[in-house]
Amino acid sequence: MNTFHFINRYLNQNRWRLIGIVIAVISYAFLNLCSPLVFSFFIDNVINQEPIESAILAVLIDRIGGIGWIQEHLWIGGAVVLILSLLTCTAVFLRGYWNGVVSESVAQNLRDHLYHHIQYCPYSVHVQVKTGDLVQRCTSDVEQIRRFLAGQFSEMIYSIFTAVIAGAVLLTLNPRMALIAVISMPFLIGYAYYFFTRAQKIFRSSDESEGEMTAMIQESLSGIRVIKAFNCEKNEIEKFEKKSTDYKEKTFLLLKQLGLYWGTSDFLCLTQILIVVLTGIFAVRNGSLSVGNYFVFISYEGMILWPIRNLGRILADMGKMTVSIGRLEEIFAYPQEETEKGITDPIAGTIEFSHVFFRYEDSDQWILKDVSFQIQKGETVALLGPTGSGKSSLVHLLTRLYDCTDGMILIDGKDIRQFQKKHLRKNVGLVLQEPFLFSKTIYENIRLSKLSAAKEEIKRVAEIASVHDVITEFDRGYDTLVGEKGVTLSGGQKQRVAIARTILKETPILIFDDSLSAVDAQTDAEIRRKLKEVQKQTTTLIITQRVASAEQADLILVLENGQITQAGTDAQLRCQEGLYKRIVAIQKARMEGVMADESI
């Protein structure tokens, strides 16, 4: 029932087509069952001139002229068979056409809903779930549902309807022979159900193994630079071969079960047909069964047994679909992020952290502990600290990728939890340390933050980000394709393109999350100088490891173990004992060493 409700959610305007499929399949099965009866009538009643047992059929034959008239016009039999064939072809065409429309429409609706749902999942979900597994579920599992609707659904209806109606017809012709004809059906149905339950468990295991393999492929391809840098190709191949072997073995187990089912069910079906053939011959010889009815029994036997035998495969595929639906329901069970609810007041850029504490839901370790500071509109604040000190977590909280566990974050005196998330993120520009560039042109990547931007605006922000001259050196300039994830650009070039993209957004709050780490100190200073000139009213947060990037800031905050241990200007902090002074000394010594090496 849950499976039906799931499919029904994505039928939309195709519910009538689904009903049409049922009608077309029943019509096809009915017409198939009529053909042997027509042959039986002509053999027994027209050729052998045996009396017609059906009163309704007898009246109908009398009205058209009787058996004698039909004997004089035997072409009528061919015409009836031809008409039945044409009607059967029509039913088959409609079934196939509607199967395709319904299955493809459901698959499209399901994919669209999945993608929409994943896009609006909270950031915490994307951190926890493997991308490769999501990709596998959105492709392989959706395809499994599409395949079932494309053929197996109508086959299941055909099998059940044919078996029931054919069995009823045979009972009216010869009850004893009918019982012999269906004696193996309970065994076939029981075996099909056993195979269904067995295959369902194996398929779940196989599907999960495929998801793990897909996740590993995605991860390895994403980290190919690291793999090559550390000569890890052989190790990655070995890991992949283990995943691939596990997937093969689990899938092969499913195939073995399938082979066992086909072999055993074929033996049962062929044995059943042999019994009917032999029993029918003896029945015809002793006169308890007519030749025409014997033809019906032989024809119906195949129509009953093979669909019932196929029912095992259909049930197995339905089991696969049930597993796929369960895996997709797990995605739909992920919570959705509310981005439209809240106030949309204009944001000027004043920021205040008031006794902010933060830890992840599944952890007891505090990432931030009692963090408090204020930033006035238009000020530039730098955050320094060792790795893991909580600098990036501040950014996550400010953009509400996470909400603080305790305390309050204010923008323009209002709790940021009052703001509409969509509005908040629209007013906070963020440049990450490892910016993501799409496999598009440089122009399209910069324009992404403001699709209405003119070329002049694109060039202006590229100049501010000190990347315009680099772009013009490329053969195709701004029309240069950057490749997947920007692999054709250097780290510094990617960061500067990302900076240009964020500047184009023109937000009152701008955050650099260690996003100048891949550019040299001179370019770093040049970018910050240009930014200060064009965005005097922009509140800027710079997360950095370099003193050179922080020394011009209005306020420098030093974070250690999730707490602010120092706060002040560059001149003030250089005179204080603490981490900042040690960083200054270390970086100064390193710079002097580099200059000494260059002079040599």
Q: 453 — phi, psi (to 5°)?
A: -65, 140
For 352, the token pair is 């205040």
For residue 151, what pLDDT is reported? 81
Q: Which residue has the tokens 């009528």?
A: 76
Cα–Cα dist 163/172, whole Å: 14
Cα–Cα dist 322/385, whole Å: 51
- Residue range 419-464, pLDDT digits in tens: 998 888 888 888 877 777 777 888 888 888 888 888 888 888 888 8
Mean pLDDT computed over 318-337? 85
Number of neighbouring beta carbons within 10 Å of residue 89: 12
Helix (H) or strand (E) holding 469: helix 468-473
Mean pLDDT computed over 11-32? 87
Contact 5, 135 (CB under 8 A): no
Q: 381 — phi, psi (to 5°)?
A: -120, 135
For residue 485, what pLDDT is reported? 56
| pLDDT(566) > 70 | yes
Residue 59's pLDDT band (boundaries 50, 70, 90)? low
Helix (H) or strand (E) holding 204: helix 185-222
For residue 55, what pLDDT is reported? 61
Residue among 200, 149, 152 at smallest CA distance from 311: 152
Residue 355's pLDDT band (boundaries 50, 70, 90)? very high
Structure-model confidence comparison of residues 161 and 529, the more confident one: 161
The secondary structure of 495-508 as a DSSP string is HHHHHHHHHHT--S
Mean pLDDT computed over 13-17? 86
Q: Tell me the pTM.
A: 0.72
CA dihedral 147, 22, 192, 245 (to 10 degrees): 0
Q: Are strands 555-560 and 563-568 parallel, antiparallel or unpaired?
A: antiparallel
Q: Domains for the chain: give ranges and CATH numbers.
A: 2-332 (1.20.1560.10), 345-427+510-515+537-600 (3.40.50.300), 430-506 (3.40.50.300)
Q: Are strands 428-431 and 380-384 parallel, antiparallel or unpaired?
A: unpaired
For residue 267, what pLDDT is reported? 82
Cα–Cα dist 101/95, whole Å: 10
Residue 415's pLDDT band (boundaries 50, 70, 90)? very high
Structure-model confidence comparison of residues 584 and 145, the more confident one: 145
Structure-model confidence comparison of residues 298 and 572, the more confident one: 572
- Residue range 363-402, pLDDT digits in tens: 788 889 998 999 988 888 888 888 778 888 888 888 888 8
- Residue range 233-260, pLDDT digits in tens: 788 888 888 888 888 888 888 788 778 7
Contact 570, 550 (CB under 8 A): yes
Number of neighbouring beta carbons within 10 Å of residue 226: 10
Residue 411's pLDDT band (boundaries 50, 70, 90)? very high
Residue 503's pLDDT band (boundaries 50, 70, 90)? confident
| pLDDT(93) > 90 | yes
Residue 94's pLDDT band (boundaries 50, 70, 90)? very high
Q: Are strands 380-384 and 406-411 parallel, antiparallel or unpaired?
A: unpaired
